[in-house]
Structure 1
Amino acid sequence: MKKIFLSAAIVLGSLTSFAAIPSVEGSIIKTISIQDEYTEIKLEELPTAVTDALKKSFPNAVISKAYKNEKAQYKLDVTVGGKEGNLFANADGTWIQK
């Protein structure tokens, strides 16, 4: 009878070691960021189509900085109603979702 209890204790004890949660140490997380290269331009260099589209869509917007990439796409840092954000537009004044 003692052998049965001893055998049952050993079997149950060995099963609990398989249920343990393995610790994750030394894992590597890679982050890849794809971003178009924008270079800062003067506000006077913005095409009139972009400034007209901004006035039409966001009449109270104030442009703080403007950027341009190789594809002639523009990134605008704007402030509207106390909130700051970025807008993206093509040279013809159409808005781009990014």
Structure 2
Amino acid sequence: MKKLILSAAILLGGLSLQAATLSSINPVIKSVDVQDEYKEVDAVPAAVKTGLDNAYPGVKLDKAYVNDKKEYKIEITVRGEKSTVYTDDKGNIIKK
């Protein structure tokens, strides 16, 4: 009889653990758009345009940004594909 009561208590205890609500933790991910101290500009120097035309024939400049070191971050479109290119003020492509 003791075994029957003990078995019933264990079974009911096990079922109550299954019925317990578990709180799931949903991490909140915040994305921050960092421009690396680049500021948007309306025009780029002619040397930069020439350098891009030589490197990427048929390039279309979408947006341009400049930092304190006179490095340009340029968003371009070439044959329908968007890309980001970094150049210096002389039009040389910078690898980043």
Category of TM-score, reference length = shorter chain: 0.5 to 0.7
Give the one of 77, 80, 90 matched to 1:79: 77
CA contact (8 A) 2:85 2:93 kept: no
Question: Following TM superposition, by how much is the alpha carbon of 1:80 offset from its aligned partner in structure 2, in angstroms?
Answer: 0.9
TM-score, normalization: structure 1? 0.65
- Give percent identity, aligned residues only: 27
Unpaired stretches in structure 1, ≥5 consecutive residues: none
**What is aligned with 2:39?**
39
Aligned in 2, Cα 1:19/1:94: closer, same or farther, shift over 3 Å? farther
Unaligned runs of 5+ in 2: none
Residue 94 in structure 1 maps to residue 93 in structure 2: yes
Q: Equivalents in 2 of 1:41, 1:10: separation in Å?
A: 74
**Aligned pair count?**
93
Distance 1:15 1:82, change over 3 A: same
Partner of 1:4: 3
User: CA contact under 8 A between 1:47 and 1:91: conserved in structure 2?
Assistant: no
Q: Which amino acid aligns with 1:72?
A: K
